[in-house]
């Protein structure tokens, strides 16, 4: 689908002021302005992401209640259950809290539900069968729990205290827990709604460690260094695609340092088996290499395998578990491709389906574990909200993905009469539905999305930081880009465009990648730029002239040498 280019045009005076503040390249100043990083204070914080600048733990509502109750549990040797989620955010959050409490000498264990057999969130039957009244005294939810009213009521009646830590959208009616630590609470003053579940858990540990220090708990045992576990925070934060701003940027930067200097055995094994051969791993490697493998555990088998990988100290066990995740990821890719191609074949037969404002499809026993990924691929291809539902008998479980400007959670709220349950974020959500309600839900959801959007909303837009003539590209500029990392949501890798570009050399590598040498017709220096274009389609495979191209600029490392390389983006 053809993308509409939006070339950002920051205020020239603002750009000049940024240059004056830090003496940077004018292109860097434009990029900072485009990201809304405008003042000396915000620029300094951006370029100096210090762990000491994390403040959310001081203002997250109910944090004091959570810390007091967990401290009581540690000191009294109560049995504590950490209840997590099966995605990377939940896996890393669970590992984070479990390791800390173990170090503190707590009587703690963890539990992650099976994605397909149990689904998301804390349920009544899990209180009966897992938390077991009379055995566990305290249950702490991680990356879930905000909507688990019935289960929390049952736990309270059974004598189990619940602490909820979460970051999902939450209703005005709070669950009746000892504490509900969720920055999305309407009454939470932290302003930290951008935190992932693992970020909330990390803030909890900052507060808990400080409180234990204040009561001299660490006087006779080693106090944990929380920077050492920022690797987990980086993994969960990047994988959950939350904005890499403020504390998220700080924690992710610290985590990348840990991973690149002293990775835990499980991560070290996974990195080596993931084909990452760079000397320095970055956020993109986590997003596209490590996260899919960690997620594969919950999608294809059970997420506890990923927790076992992250917690093991044994190198041999780490490689065994990493190989298992690698195999699961290959299985996941195969299943995902089958469903994706099945849907494309359906659209070939029923092309009118893709003219609607939303795509909702349901099928008997699609593999639930991969529906979110397939939905994301369909969103990329057709640029409209997608919900895919797998039915078993009369009940279907679905996963949805949205596009910028359409709040998927709000849309589902307006269709709730047809759903058995739902939850999630503006861009991603899960749901359950009875088969008999599918058609009514499809109709209502289509109407809701239509009212939420204008026709132009279904044209994908690509935001360009600025036009960049080839003559301006230099080693110094590429080096400067590294200072803007880590890249991710709300801090994307800089994207540029150039006009009147000729191809002077071209070679197809693999099945559909194109290696190129490019030059601009109006270049005064006759400068050429080497480029790579992944997953080329149609006429772009053989085109030798482009009126406009969009591209990123990176160092290409090969045989111990590095050279500038443009990475072409499809328009």
Q: How many angstroms separate the CA atoms of 200 and 63, rounded?
A: 10
Query: Rounded to a whole number, what is the distance in angstroms from the first to the last CA of the chain?
Result: 8
Q: How far apart are CA 430 and CA 195, in angstroms?
A: 20
Strands 545-558 and 179-181: unpaired
pLDDT 10s digits, 347-380: 999 988 888 999 999 999 899 999 999 999 999 9
Cα distance between residue 165 and residue 203, in whole Å = 10
Do 254 and 51 contact (CB within 8 A), yes or no?
yes
Cα distances (Å, whole numbers) of residue 392 to 116, 360, 435, 503, 513: 11, 17, 9, 52, 40
For 350-458, CATH number out of 3.40.640.10, 3.40.50.300, 3.10.310.30, 2.60.120.260 equals 3.10.310.30
Q: How far apart are CA 465 and CA 32, in angstroms?
A: 10
What CATH code would you report for 56-259? 3.90.1640.30
**Selection from 145, 170, 160 nearest residue 83 by Cα:** 145
Q: What is the mean pLDDT of each run of 10 residues along the chain (571 residues)?
A: 89 94 93 95 93 92 98 98 97 98 97 93 94 93 95 96 95 94 96 96 98 97 96 97 95 97 97 88 96 97 98 98 98 97 94 91 93 96 95 94 93 96 89 96 95 79 95 94 94 96 94 94 91 91 94 89 93 80
What is the residue extent of each domain of the chain? 56-259, 263-341, 350-458, 462-569
From residue 517, how far is each of 162, 495, 528, 539 by CA, in Å?
A: 60, 19, 7, 18
User: Residues 83, 142: contact at Cβ < 8 Å?
Assistant: yes
Tokens 């590992």, located at residue: 95
Find the DSSP H helices in 23-87: 26-34, 40-47, 56-59, 63-75
Measure Cα distances from 159 to 70, 71, 153, 422, 553 in Å: 16, 18, 10, 28, 58
Query: What pLDDT was estimated at residue 246?
Result: 94
Does the fold of domain 462-569 match that of domain 56-259? no
Query: What is the pLDDT at residue 144?
Result: 94
What sign has the CA pseudo-torsion 534, 540, 542, 546?
negative
The pLDDT assigned to 456 comes to 62
What architecture (CATH level 2) is domain 462-569? Beta Barrel (2.40)
- pLDDT tens profile 267-298: 999 999 998 877 889 999 999 999 999 999 99
Collapsed DSSP state (helix, strand, coil) of residue 282: coil
Phi, psi for residue 107 in degrees, rounded to 5: -90, 85
The rounded distance, in Å, linking the Cα atoms of 550 and 460 is 14
| 253: number of Cβ within 10 Å | 19
Q: What is the CA radius of gyration of the chain?
A: 25
Question: Quick one: pLDDT at residue 455?
Answer: 62
């Amino acid at each position: 689908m053809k993308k509409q280019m939006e070339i950002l045009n920051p205020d020239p005076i603002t750009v000049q002021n940024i240059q004056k503040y830090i003496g940077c390249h004018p292109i860097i100043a434009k990029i900072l302005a485009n990201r809304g990083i405008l003042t000396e204070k915000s620029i300094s914080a951006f370029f100096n992401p210090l762990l000491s600048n994390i403040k959310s733990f001081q203002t997250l509502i109910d944090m004091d209640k959570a810390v007091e109750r967990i401290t009581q549990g540690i000191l009294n040797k109560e049995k504590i259950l950490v209840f997590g989620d099966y995605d990377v955010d939940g896996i890393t959050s669970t590992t984070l809290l479990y390791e800390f409490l173990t170090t503190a000498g707590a009587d703690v264990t963890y539990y992650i539900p099976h994605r397909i057999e149990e689904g998301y969130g804390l349920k009544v039957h899990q209180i009966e069968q897992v938390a077991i009244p009379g055995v566990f005294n305290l249950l702490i939810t991680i990356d879930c729990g905000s909507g688990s009213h019935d289960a929390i009521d049952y736990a309270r009646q059974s004598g189990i205290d619940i602490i909820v830590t979460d970051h999902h959208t939450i209703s005005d009616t709070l669950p009746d827990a000892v504490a509900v630590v969720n920055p999305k609470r309407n009454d939470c003053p932290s302003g930290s709604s951008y935190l992932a579940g693992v970020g909330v858990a990390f803030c909890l540990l900052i507060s808990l460690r400080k409180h234990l220090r204040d009561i001299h708990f660490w006087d006779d045992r080693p106090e944990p260094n929380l920077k050492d576990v920022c690797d987990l925070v980086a993994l969960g934060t990047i994988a959950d695609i939350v904005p890499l701003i403020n504390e998220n940027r700080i924690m992710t930067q610290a985590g990348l340092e840990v991973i690149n200097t002293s990775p835990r055995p499980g991560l070290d094994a996974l990195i080596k088996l993931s084909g990452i051969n760079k000397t320095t791993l970055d956020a993109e490697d986590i997003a596209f290499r490590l996260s899919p493998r960690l997620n594969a555990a919950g999608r294809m088998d059970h997420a506890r395998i990923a927790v076992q990988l992250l917690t093991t100290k044994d190198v041999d066990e780490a490689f065994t578990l990493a190989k298992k995740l690698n195999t699961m990821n290959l299985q996941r890719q195969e299943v995902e491709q089958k469903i994706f191609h099945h849907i494309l074949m359906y659209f070939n037969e029923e092309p009118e389906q893709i003219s609607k404002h939303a795509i909702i499809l349901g099928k008997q026993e699609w593999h639930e574990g991969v529906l979110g990924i397939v939905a994301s691929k369909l969103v990329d291809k057709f640029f409209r909200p997608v919900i895919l539902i797998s039915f078993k008998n009369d009940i279907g479980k679905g996963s949805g993905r949205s596009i910028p400007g359409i709040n998927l959670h709000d849309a589902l709220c307006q269709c709730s009469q047809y759903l058995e349950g739902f939850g999630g974020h503006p861009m991603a959500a899960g749901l359950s539905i009875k088969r008999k309600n599918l058609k009514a839900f499809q109709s209502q959801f289509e109407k809701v999305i239509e009212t939420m959007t204008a026709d132009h909303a279904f044209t994908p837009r690509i935001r360009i930081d600025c036009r960049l003539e080839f003559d301006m590209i230099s080693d110094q500029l590429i080096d400067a880009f590294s200072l803007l990392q880590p890249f991710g949501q709300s801090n994307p890798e800089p994207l540029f465009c150039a006009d009147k570009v000729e191809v002077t050399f071209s070679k197809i590598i693999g099945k559909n990648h194109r290696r190129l040498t490019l030059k601009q017709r109006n270049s005064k220096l006759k400068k050429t730029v080497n480029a790579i274009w992944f997953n080329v389609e149609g006429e772009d495979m053989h085109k030798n002239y482009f009126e406009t191209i969009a591209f990123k600029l990176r160092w290409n490392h090969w045989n111990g040498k590095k050279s500038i390389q443009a990475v072409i983006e499809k328009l």
